[in-house]
Amino acid sequence: MDFGLLLQQTINALTIGAIYALIALGYTMVYGIIELINFAHGDVFMTGSFVTMWLLTTLGFQGTIKDPLTLAGVLALAFLVAMTVMGAVGVIIERFAYRPLRNAPRLAPLITAIGVSFILQNIVQSIWGPSPVSVPQIIDVQASFRVGGTPIRFLSIFIIVLAIALMVALQLFVGRTRLGRAMRSTAIDREAAQLMGVDINTTIALTFFIGSALAGAAGVVQGLYLGNTVFTAGFQAGLKAFTAAVLGGIGNTTGAALGGFVIGFIEVGSTYLGYTRWSEAVVFTILILVLVFRPTGLLGQQLAERA
């Protein structure tokens, strides 16, 4: 493999992995707090992509925005709206679907999560239909710069940098703020944290808000990258993001991000080797192997960092 092809494949893997990593963070945060696998999270991501499509088409944008200042403003608005709306959806889901079942047997909230997933899918399908819907690609997908003669798309670099920035911001928030400390203490021992004055309901709601907001950001990125979305998009992306969270270490935010990038490299590597149809099988085979031989994931389960 020559250097140019290797560089292109690496950028592709990092771009795909960044999307998975953003979704996986929501899985691992919720699990770290209440030990629930929120299977509706993938459809929160999917709904975020439709919110982005609706916003851009409502504002009248149908294609590339040439003016840099206008593009920056529209991007900022798209991320603000999608992350805020999906964060609010996450809080509503927690309040009405999961909170009443907080002390119920674990199977009850798990089934409820699957039900919420179907509810989101049906709402989106009833509004926009079952067919794929175009998302305005306001960033020129052909715009690129060259590294050693190899074209690198600006859109890919934007996605990678944005994802890393959001992950760093999350780590700083969890590690250095009062609310972040409340989230970590709740993850370690909910009852003890409550005795120390932590508002458990607010902390859990905040966790759902942040996790769902990150999924909303991933929805924006997905729309800009692929140029379309469909109401079933959350299923496969959610499964792979869940795989990434388990691979990195469920409950560990750093591990979830790492797992997302690893899944990206596995998918791109399988495609490059000619096993495109087998890429998903390879991903889930690795999930099985991890669960069998290292159930705590690549980075283990660092309880003090779970959020």
Reply yes or no on whether the pLDDT at 54 is more than 60: yes
Q: What is the pLDDT of residue 301?
A: 53
Q: What value does the mean pLDDT of the chain take?
A: 90
- pLDDT at 194 exceeding the cut of 60: yes
Please count the structural domains in the chain.
Answer: 1
What percentage of the chain carries pLDDT values higher than 90?
59
pLDDT band at 51 (very low <50, low <70, confident <90, very high): very high
User: Nearest to residue 74, comparing CAs of 85, 88, 64, 86?
Assistant: 64
- pLDDT reported for residue 73: 95
Q: What is the CATH number of the domain that holds 165?
A: 1.10.3470
Of 5-14, 52-61, 73-82, 144-153, the least confident? 144-153
Find the domain containing 112 and state its range. Answer: 3-305
Report the residue count for the chain.
307
For the entire predicted model, the pTM comes to 0.91
* Identity at 239, one-letter amino acid code: L
Average of per-residue pLDDT across 31-51: 92
Burial tier of 105 (Cβ tally within 10 Å: 0-12, 13-18, 19+): exposed
